[in-house]
A and B are shown apart, each in its own frame.
Chain A
Amino acid sequence: GAVVSQHPSRVICKSGTSVKIECRSLDFQATTMFWYRQFPKKSLMLMATSNEGSKATYEQGVEKDKFLINHASLTLSTLTVTSAHPEDSSFYICSAGQDIETQYFGPGTRLLVL
């Protein structure tokens, strides 16, 4: 199947700092990517849709100034958690679709804010 990568896989930061997470589609071009967060033993919650060349579309309740998304190319989307706080600690996962049927997920980024 298609490959989606994320970097970093794990990050620990101090409260108040910003963290950037990269999501890349390695063997296909993705005009749309999605960002999710997942708490332990819980389901995936869609945060936003990242659109290449235009603004991201955020789901209700997700602060766009808190979670900055940039989709600068057809293979790269970034999520920046600004002024991170302990409650932002979570598992962040991106996905990209090669066709209308499938979404391939990246390996995820585990964020811990101290």
Chain B
Amino acid sequence: GQSLEQPSEVTAVEGAIVQINCTYQTSGFYGLSWYQQHDGGAPTFLSYNALDGLEETGRFSSFLSRSDSYGYLLLQELQMKDSASYFCAVRDRDYKLSFGAGTTVTVRA
């Protein structure tokens, strides 16, 4: 089975940088995904890492270290609209996703 850990909540001010860590224990690992979910909405895809290293997409970056079973999502130049829940998810060989419990990010003015 899969087990993922991420912090339950993070609070930061506008313009700040937030890093959300995710550690995982898996029986089969093919990649780490990150999703954003606003209250009442569906998850939206942010990034996917299959190989070690940093992937940058605009203000958001995602990092993976397979040897450490660890990844993180970096949110830069925080904006109020970034207040949401962020989930890391491990993909297995059958394309199934196992999600972490989610990190609630609150951005303050």
Chain A positions within 8 Å of B, measured between CB atoms, are: 1, 32, 34, 42-46, 49, 93, 95, 97, 100-108
Contact = CB atoms under 8 A, between A and B. Distances in A.
Contact of B96 (A46, A104, A107, A108): A46
Interface residues of B, number: 21
A107 B48 CA distance: 20
Interface string B3-39: 0000000000000000000000000001101010000
Contact of A34 (B48, B96, B102): B96
B96 A101 contact: no
22 contacts: A1-B45, A32-B95, A34-B95, A42-B101, A43-B101, A44-B43, A44-B87, A45-B99, A46-B97, A49-B94, A49-B96, A93-B43, A100-B30, A100-B95, A102-B33, A102-B45, A102-B48, A103-B33, A105-B43, A107-B41, A108-B41, A108-B42
A48 to B, nearest CB: 10
Contacts of B101: 42-43
| Residue in A1, A44, A93 whose Cβ sees the most chain B Cβ within 10 Å | A44
Interface string B81-109: 00000010000001111111110000000
A86 B88 CA distance: 30
Nearest to B1: A60
B38 to A, nearest CB: 11
A58 B48 CA distance: 25
